A and B are shown apart, each in its own frame.
Chain A
Amino acid sequence: MCGIVGLFLKDEALRPDLGRLLSEMLVTMTDRGPDSAGIAIYGAETPGRTKITVQSPAPARDFPGLAEALAAATGSAVEIARRDTHGVLTVAEDAAAAVRAALTTVAPEVRVMGVGAAVEIFKEVGKPADVVRRFGVAAMAGTHGIGHTRMATESAVTTLGAHPFSTGPDQCLVHNGSLSNHNNVRRVLRHRGARFETENDSEVAAAYLTDAMAGGRDLGAALAGALADLDGFFTFVVGTRSGFGVLRDPIACKPAVMAETDAYVAFGSEYRALAGLPGIETARVWEPEPATVYFWDHARAA
């Protein structure tokens, strides 16, 4: 099973409602996957600043004083906004790599969930309603976001095994399905320099797209390559700094339904997830074709 949702806003007036709409969509998909849940939100950017979303198994121990310790270790100002077990560190763009490196010594148990100018990622073990409440997702604003509620199949039920997976700046992926050649692809990507945090097949899919985009391809072209190189059953919904993509394997037995209006593009594993969206009654609703790349980009539309 697993439940996926995604929302790409075209109408700026909806941006304050992104977190609330995504939360409602995700909670509706609870019975597709009660193991863990997560959400990636593309929120406000500050020029010259990078956001590093981190997670700690013991936030009361790790988060107090973390920003100061990282600042002392790197000589750059670090701010932290805490949300339950997660914290969003905001640092100067050119200091992001140093801060990330310093984390391994300053707070070795703190894990990086995602890095980017816009993206923030929140994920935990537990039911979607609890997870989105703990992080206060409903109050978050942004341009687009994706969410996932997981029924674990390929690997362990842990925070790191929850989706979305982020393996590159401002990139993230949620996945419903299972990949049959993920070990081989992981090995190839490791040789090319990719680093993996988990044994999860979905992390391999994310890293595959990151690798392809690092080679200069846009998200649409990277997804087209995934059709040739990834085996198994999958529906992917992916986000980039300004883009939103959907891909189903050629057999397409994992469910997917999409809706588009002048105000948004939405994805759900089931229509139920879309039923509460504004204007859904008159939206164009369709089932994405197998082996077909769907791809929207704010930068391209502008």
Chain B
Amino acid sequence: MPTFDLAATPLRALNEALHAVGPGSNDTRFEVLNPRGAHAVAVGADAPVTIAVHGSVGYYCAGMNAEASVTVHGSAGPGVAENMMSGTVVVEGDASQYAGATGRGGLLVVKGNAASRCGISMKGIDIVVHGSVGHMSAFMAQSGNLVVLGDAGEALGDSLYEARLFVRGTVKSLGADCVEKEMRPEHVAILEDLLARAGARGVSPAEFRRYGSARRLYSFDIDNVDAY
């Protein structure tokens, strides 16, 4: 079980060790101590390893993650799990701006709140936020699911493409082309699975409303020219 104390070891040593994990490796559990808000912790992991980060991290933690399970026992700065491909990233505390931005797959769980632009341009990632999300979350989201157990800030889903947004609390306002949609059985099933995988117990899919794209903006139509 390799342990990297970032108070004593350069961050680069951690990330190089993660990138060097090959098939059949026995080093599948990594512990990271004293991150103290460092940037780019556990970025680019590309193997089914488990990484526990004990403390709060700065920008871009677990960016580009593939296959790894990363848990931050603290809060995360801007861009956590940015462009994640697969695997799981769990933030025990809060996440700053653009959590899960452009993510293509995998599951990001924020146990606290996420700030503005959570899931901006998400492209297949699933994001579950136990608390609330800030303004312009899921801006230009293209696919995947954003689940918010708390409230959503202004302009949720602005210029949304095909992602599904589920919000349990209030929505301050919807962005351009984002509308409330009915919860059909397939959505309940998706939500049930995501809530279970994100460890959200005692929460029923029936408590959520679904939002999605009205599809009026993203393919050009001369009748919509005033909206551009």
Q: Interface of A with B (CB < 8 Å)?
A: 250, 252-253, 255, 257, 270-276, 285-287, 289-290
Nearest residue, chain A, Cβ from B112: A286
Q: Across the interface, do A275 and B135 meet the contact criterion of CB distance under 8 Å?
A: no
* Smallest beta-carbon distance B36→chain A, Å: 4
* Total contacts A-B at CB 8 Å: 47
Is B71 close to A, CB under 8 A? no
How distant is the Cα of A276 from the Cα of B135 in the complex, in angstroms?
A: 30
A290 near B134: Cβ-Cβ < 8 Å: yes
Interface residues on B, range: 10 to 19
Asked if A271 and B56 make an inter-chain contact with CB atoms under 8 angstroms apart, the answer reads yes
The docked-state distance in angstroms from the alpha carbon of A148 to that of B189 is: 50
Question: A255 to B96, Cβ gap below 8 A?
Answer: yes
Is B121 close to A, CB under 8 A? no
Distance A270 CA – B37 CA, assembled complex (angstroms): 8
- Supposing A252-B116, A271-B37, A271-B56 touch, asked if A257 and B96 sit within 8 A by C-beta, the answer is yes
Does any Cβ of A come within 8 Å of B75's Cβ? yes
A274 CA to B74 CA in the complex, in Å?
Answer: 14
5 contacts between A and B (CB under 8 A): A255-B77, A257-B96, A271-B56, A274-B37, A286-B94
B212 CB-CB contact with A under 8 Å:
no
In the bound complex, how far is the Cα of B155 from the Cα of A250, in angstroms?
12
Hey, which chain A residues are within 8 Å of B96, CB to CB?
255, 257, 287
Question: When chains A and B are docked, how far (Å) is the Cα of A276 from the Cα of B55?
Answer: 13
User: Cβ of B137 < 8 Å from any Cβ of A?
Assistant: no
| 8 Å CB contact of B116 from A272, A285, A290 | A290
Residues in B with CB closer than 8 Å to A289 are 134
CB distance from B136 to the nearest CB of A (A): 8
CB pair A285 B56 closer than 8 Å: yes
A276 to B77, CA, bound (A): 16
Q: Which parts of B59-112 form the interface with A (CB within 8 Å)?
A: 59, 75, 77-78, 93-94, 96-97
Nearest-CB distance from B115 to chain A (Å)? Answer: 5
